[in-house]
Amino acid sequence: MSHKRNKPSQPSTKDQRIAELEQQLRQALATIQKLQQVVELLRVKVDELERAGKRQAAPFARRKWVAHPQKPGRKAGRGNFSHRPQPSLKQVNETKTAKLQGCPVCGGKLCEIHTHEQYVTDIPVVQVTTTRFVTFSGYCRACHKRVRSQHPEQTSQATGAAGVQVGPRAKALATDLKHRLGVSYGKVSEVLQDAFGLQVSRSGWCQSDQKLASTARPVYEELLETIRQCSVVHADETGWRMGTLAAWLWVFTNNEATVYTIRANRSSDVVIDILGQEFKGILASDCFLAYDDRRLRTWLKQKCLSHLLKDLKEMKESKSGRALQFARQMTTLLQEALALKRQKSSLDPFTFFQYAQDLEARLDALIAPQRRLKDVDNARFARRLRKHRSHLLRFLYVEELDATNNLAERRLRPAVITRKTNGCNRTKPGAETHAILSSVLVTCRQHSIPILDFLVELQRFGGNPPPLVSAIPLQLDTPSLPTSQR
């Protein structure tokens, strides 16, 4: 009897189709889940932008609540702790004694009496003083000219209706409050009236600043020439307004000088106009396109690593799986570069050079064009780094060069306060006044130059500045770089 062998049953076409559809469904569900995460992240960013557009008082708000935030104040064992020193006997203007005859509770007699001392430094009641200047004029028989005397403390020879003026120190204080500390003209009037009894309208202070800016223009031109000769310059810009027109406030700064300018454009023309076409130093900035114009192609630059690390942090928060690896590797490399710069003084030159070359090689490998990055954001970030490759690690080889552009951002913070409290400038002359006076005031502050004394002398010299800003020590030498960084 013959037995037939049963063949294994083959899956039907219908079953195969069902399996394919189930596989496609699982892939679609996974894609939908990823897209939902991206949509949620974009929704959070849109909410932040809408909130920032309505209320700009908190631009640095966190997206998440920190469970254990760092405690404010100085950390234990870090920094220098000092208390207010005890004044000398020559500094004590008055001594007041509070006698203790007996116990204030029961009236009993006291024993073991000790003496305690406390020093209080306060502002006395200030009264505005008015000085009467008497001058003389006469006709010269030799040169046939009308001449007139002028006291060294006078800042003007106006008489008649303009013969009653506000003194140079009051003008200097109002200028510092307005253009460096961001106090509005209305509040400047209130402060000087409440503290000193000096009544001046807002328009009066505005006209005073315009005249002072005209007097300080030679100092501003000197600062421009100074910043062009420095070896390192940090640049940044922020939104501004002149009346109803959009504008931008630019800052060019380093440890020696600070220059502000307000322009109607945000292009590389401003960079060339301020620093000149033949700038020999290093320009530290973010990756904004204005700093990468073809006319600046031969300039030495340093791109801000803080901006790059911030972008990498956002990438790590939005990525998962293998797409997260690139952001982690790049973050580790940049942080190691920052740590190497901090340790440079404790390493011998050969060891430091070996570590630096290792970082250079690892960076080249991470952003190599032949490396295929499947994630779109990672590939875009790698192209961005390849574009600025020669400007990423230059800070390792130049002692006075920082890896970040934080200095320029700190110089912009007073301007941001002024923008929020005063509403920028209404006219182009007002913008020029703010740029000139802010540059002079901030530079004086950098070198601990008494601002009020400098502005008083500036008004008395009538445009010939006293030798304060001119005595600023500069770093004018072109930095020496390895051949690979030139």
In a domain, 412, yes or no: yes
Mean pLDDT of 134-155: 87
In this structure, is the dihedral angle defined by the CA atoms of residues 271, 272, 276 and 281, taken in order, positive or negative?
Answer: positive
Find the helix or strand (DSSP H, E) in which 191 lies. Answer: helix 185-196
Any idea of the CA torsion for 76, 79, 81, 84, to the nearest 10 degrees? -140
**CA nearest to 452, candidates 203, 169, 253:** 169
Q: Are residues 415 and 397 in the same domain?
A: no
Same domain flag for 217 and 255: yes
- Is the residue at 151 inside a domain? no
DSSP 425: B
Q: What pLDDT band is residue 6 in, cutting at 50, 70 and 90?
A: low
Beta strand residue intervals within 332-478, DSSP E: none
Task: Report residue 475's pLDDT band, with 50, 70 and 90 as the boundaries.
Answer: very low
Q: Are residues 426 and 474 in the same domain?
A: yes
**In the chain, % of residues over pLDDT 90:** 47
pLDDT in tens, 243-297: 888 999 999 999 889 999 999 999 999 999 999 988 999 999 999 999 999 999 8
Looking at residue 395, the DSSP 8-state letter turns out to be G
Q: Are residues 198 and 270 in the same domain?
A: yes
Nearest to 174 by CA among 156, 198, 155, 146: 198
The per-residue pLDDT of the chain, averaged, comes to 86
More confident residue, 321 or 437: 437
Alpha carbon distance 295, 286 (integer Å) = 17
CA 114, CA 178: separation in Å to the nearest integer? 49
CA dihedral of 13, 18, 22, 23, whole degrees rounded to 10: 0
Q: Dump pLDDT digits (tens) for 360-407.
A: 999 999 999 988 888 899 999 999 999 999 999 999 999 999 999 999
- What is the predicted pLDDT for the residue at 360? 94
Q: Among 351, 378, 404, where does a domain finish? A: 404
For residue 166, pLDDT beyond 80: yes
Residues 245, 289 within the same domain: yes
Q: What does the alpha-carbon distance between residue 435 and residue 242 come to, in Å, rounded to a whole number?
A: 12
| Residue 101 pLDDT class (50, 70, 90 cuts) | confident
Per the CB < 8 A criterion, the answer to whether 240 and 290 are in contact is no
* Number of folded domains that form the chain: 2
**Model pLDDT for residues 446-469, shown as the tens digit of each residue:** 998 999 999 998 888 765 655 544
Residue 6 CA: distances (Å) to CA of 10, 13, 15, 70: 12, 21, 21, 75
The mean per-residue pLDDT over the stretch 68-77 comes to: 78
In a domain, 66, yes or no: no
Q: Is the pLDDT of residue 2 over 70?
A: no
For 452, list phi and psi in degrees, rounded to 5.
-65, -45
Least confident of 14-28, 38-52, 109-123, 317-331: 38-52
Of 440, 29, 480, 478, the closest CA to residue 224 belongs to 440
Asked if residues 239 and 246 have their Cβ atoms less than 8 Å apart, the reply is yes
Q: Same domain, yes or no, for 383 and 451?
A: no
Same domain, 383 and 463: no
pLDDT over 70 percentage in the chain:
90
Residue the block writes with tokens 């029961």: 106
Same domain membership, residue 415 and residue 275: yes
Residue ending a domain, choose from 350, 384, 404: 404
Residue 382 placed within a domain = yes
Average pLDDT value for residue range 101-114: 88
Give the span between the Cα atoms of 465 and 436, in whole angstroms: 14
Residue 478 pLDDT > 50, yes or no?
no
The answer to whether residue 164 scores a pLDDT higher than 90 is: no
- 430 and 365 belong to one structural domain: no
Q: How many whole angstroms separate alpha carbon 236 and alpha carbon 286?
A: 8
**80 part of a folded domain:** no
- Cβ atoms of 230 and 474 within 8 Å: the answer is yes
Residue 227 · residue 274 · CB < 8 Å = yes
CA-to-CA distance for 253 and 402, rounded, in angstroms?
A: 13
What is the end-to-end Cα distance of the chain in Å, rounded? 94
Backbone Cα Rg of the chain: 33
pLDDT in tens, 194-219: 988 888 999 999 999 999 999 999 99
Show the tokens assigned to 372: 């295929």
> Is residue 473 situated within a structural domain?
yes
d(CA 300, CA 69): 39
Residue at 121 is within a domain: no
Q: Is residue 290 part of a domain?
A: yes
Dihedral over alpha carbons 173, 175, 181, 184 (to 10 degrees): 110
Do 313 and 284 share a structural domain?
A: no
Contact 366, 333 (CB under 8 A): yes
Same domain, 256 and 280: yes
Residues 440, 326 share a domain: no
Q: Given a cut of 90, is residue 471 above it in pLDDT?
A: no
58 band by pLDDT with thresholds 50, 70 and 90: very low
Enclosing domain of residue 394 = 305-404
Helices (H), 229-348: 268-275, 305-318, 323-342
The residue from 404, 426, 452 where one domain ends is 404
